[in-house]
Amino acid sequence: MILIDWPAVLPFALALVGVGFLSGFLAGLFGIGGGAVVVIALYEAFSAIGIDPTVRMHLATGTALAVLAPTTFRSFVVHRARGTVDIDLVRRLAPAVILGVIGGVGVASKTGGEFLKWVWIVMGSFLAIRMGLGRDNWRLGSDIPQSLAVEAYASFVGFISALMSVGGGAFMTLLMTLYGRSLHQAVGTSSAFGPLIAVPAMIGFAWAGWGKPHLPPGSIGYINVIGAALVIPTGLLAAPWGARLGHGLTKRRLECAFAAFMSCVVLRYLFGMFA
């Protein structure tokens, strides 16, 4: 069932073009894959045009995953060409990550939008605190151990990333830097997990939302094809502008800015739930 009449597609499309520019700019500014930016921007756009609340959060998450898939793959190709990807570690942790993604999609298919908001509130708060503290000297060891605990953490990253519609980069980078890897290698290797999370999660959200009522035009399950098609190119166009601004700021200022952004996202969801 289509909630929005076809004459409403034009303002819907214009709203998503704006989402693309905003998410691309902020993704370039903060040096992240953009999933965290896209999902909240899509949620606000879907709210503004009256998408039914029962599908709004799932639709924003699924569509953001569709945006994330090509952008994270492009990032991985670039980092691999620069030699900063630890392929052996990717091969080791890939099955655990994908298993976590499958679990995350399964949970998302059985829960409502409020649950996904709480995931964002909890994990967004963690990321905000982590960036706000800005401590790069924390260490758990000199190298990543051969322990099932690492695989368990990778599964958790896949699980939580599927629910949040992020590429898992922040979480995998944290693991690698805590075990003495350089930031460049941590970021490069983390980029490889983006497609491993986004592609199966995207397919899962399309399946989970198949045939659901109240979805807008151009939706395949919880993925709005119109939204993804508009956000991807405009996001890629705006990303260099954000990157230029980011290069003019110190690392500490960028960390504080990202922490402030994540805090605003958390407060927005909290306000929406309790207002």
CA 41 – CA 60 distance, rounded (Å): 8
With a CB cutoff of 8 Å and minimum separation 6, the contacts of 269 are 117, 120, 121, 124
CA 196 – CA 40 distance, rounded (Å): 22
pLDDT tens, residue by residue, 159-213:
998 888 877 777 887 788 788 777 677 777 887 888 898 899 999 999 988 988 8
The pLDDT of residue 4 is 46
* Residue 223 banded pLDDT, cuts 50, 70, 90: very high
CA 43 – CA 168 distance, rounded (Å): 20
Tokens 């639709």, residue? 59
In whole angstroms, what separates CA 120 from the centre of its chain?
A: 11
N-term to C-term CA, the chain: 29
